[in-house]
Amino acid sequence: MAANYKIITDSCSNLLEDTIEQHGLEVLPLTFMVDGEDDVYQSYLKGHTTDLKQFFSMMREGKVFKTSLPTLSQTRELMEGILDGGQDILYIGFSSGLSGTYEATSLLMNELAEAYPDRKLYAVDTLAASGGEGLLVHYAAQMAEQGATIEEVRDWVEEHKLNLAHWFTVDDLMFLFRGGRVSRTSAWAGTLLNIKPILHVDDEGHLIPMEKLRGRKKAIKGLLDHMERTATKPVSEQTVFITHGDCIEDAESLADMIRERFGVKDIVINYIDPVIGAHSGPGTLALFFLADSRN
């Protein structure tokens, strides 16, 4: 029996198109602009595969991207169509600690709740990003398909969102400098010394540098070590998400190491979307899994 509600997320969840189609999800596209151009691009188009390799190639060539929220008029139109069709809405959104997307969307939903008093509209701030947000949506969609009510799914996401661990590394600190995440001095020094930081998303949904390792191989091993230390047991039965900024070989290598060390069978690899990628840069490699805590 199909659920009488629709799960909506946004493009920063970095879900595969197959996953979106399989679960019947709706995705709000955040937007971006290319330096020197007036056109506004959507970071997700339903049924279309964006050439993200080209996007990251443009970044490597020095193109600068500006990012923005989903278009509220399109969000309203989508939600009104769902509500008019007799379905309720559960929005599972991008961390309020990194974007105004959740706040803007939840305010709109409050307006719609007054216009549709017979419908249920719930919003969850995941305090998560990229595959972290996406993995929570994945579990929520599975619950919905198994017959869970909208309240049961909402409550599960609220209860478990701080168990969604994010660990990632970047290849070029200058992109984090542009986004205000590290100082110019740290970025330049890190580049000269081949420093590859390990970062995570904390319980407030903010991006926090945690370690500084010298060299890419050590940084990738560091992601694995954090998983070993905190992942919820049995690790082998988990679904693990990996996202990357056009470094598929590193992503596949990390997946192989996870299979070998933990016996995990269900690993999903996907590109980082343009909005997150604009701030983290090419070569970003991120690992997401359920853990006892995010730290």
- Do 126 and 191 lie in a common domain? no
State the pLDDT confidence band at 275, using cuts at 50, 70 and 90. Answer: very high
Can you tell me the mean pLDDT for 50-64?
A: 91
Q: Most confidently modeled of 50-64, 183-197, 245-259?
A: 245-259
Q: What is the pLDDT of residue 175?
A: 74
Give CA–CA dist 285/290, Å, rounded.
17
State the pLDDT confidence band at 280, using cuts at 50, 70 and 90. Answer: very high
- Do 240 and 143 lie in a common domain? no
Can you tell me the mean pLDDT for 107-133?
A: 98
Q: Is residue 61 included in any domain, yes or no?
A: yes
**CB 110, CB 146: distance < 8 Å:** no
Residues with Cβ < 8 Å from 102, sequence gap 6 or more?
93, 94, 95, 96, 123, 125
Q: Is residue 37 included in any domain, yes or no?
A: yes
- Do 130 and 218 lie in a common domain? no
Q: Is residue 295 included in any domain, yes or no?
A: no
Instruction: Classify the C-alpha dihedral 143-144-146-152 as positive or negative.
Output: positive
Query: Has residue 1 got a pLDDT over 60?
Result: no
Mean per-residue pLDDT over the chain, rounded: 93
- Do 146 and 12 lie in a common domain? yes
- Do 29 and 144 lie in a common domain? yes
Q: Is residue 125 included in any domain, yes or no?
A: yes
Query: Has residue 264 got a pLDDT over 90?
Result: yes
State the pLDDT confidence band at 28, using cuts at 50, 70 and 90. Answer: very high
Q: Is residue 44 included in any domain, yes or no?
A: yes
Q: What is the pLDDT of residue 209?
A: 85
More confident residue, 236 or 48: 236
Can you tell me the mean pLDDT for 168-177?
A: 81
**C-alpha distance from residue 274 to each of 12, 103, 237, 261 (Å):** 9, 21, 31, 31
Q: Is residue 263 included in any domain, yes or no?
A: yes
H helix count then E strand count, the chain: 11, 13
Query: Has residue 2 got a pLDDT over 70?
Result: no
Can you tell me the mean pLDDT for 102-110?
A: 98
Tokens, residue 145? 């398909």
Q: What is the pLDDT of residue 102?
A: 98
Domain with residue 180: its CATH number is 3.30.1180.10
- Do 215 and 262 lie in a common domain? yes
- Do 20 and 146 lie in a common domain? yes
Q: What is the pLDDT of residue 190?
A: 58
**Amino acid (1-letter code) at residue 190:** G
State the pLDDT confidence band at 193, using cuts at 50, 70 and 90. Answer: low
What's the number of domains the chain is made of?
2
- Do 88 and 68 lie in a common domain? yes
- Do 15 and 92 lie in a common domain? yes
Instruction: Classify the C-alpha dihedral 26-32-34-38 as positive or negative.
Output: positive
**CB 154, CB 124: distance < 8 Å:** yes
The residue among 161, 188, 223 that closes a domain is 161
More confident residue, 52 or 3: 52
**Domain limits for position 66:** 5-161
- Do 149 and 253 lie in a common domain? no
Q: Is residue 254 included in any domain, yes or no?
A: yes
Q: Is residue 225 included in any domain, yes or no?
A: yes
The residue among 145, 161, 177 that closes a domain is 161
Query: Has residue 186 got a pLDDT over 70?
Result: no
Can you tell me the mean pLDDT for 45-52?
A: 82
- Do 257 and 244 lie in a common domain? yes
- Do 186 and 197 lie in a common domain? yes
The pLDDT tens digits of the residues spanning 227-257 come to: 999 999 999 999 999 999 999 999 999 999 9
Query: Has residue 188 got a pLDDT over 60?
Result: no
Stretch among 7-11, 38-42, 152-156 having the lowest mean pLDDT: 38-42
The residue among 111, 145, 161 that closes a domain is 161
Domain with residue 98: its CATH number is 3.40.50.10170
Query: Has residue 184 got a pLDDT over 70?
Result: no
Can you tell me the mean pLDDT for 53-57?
A: 94
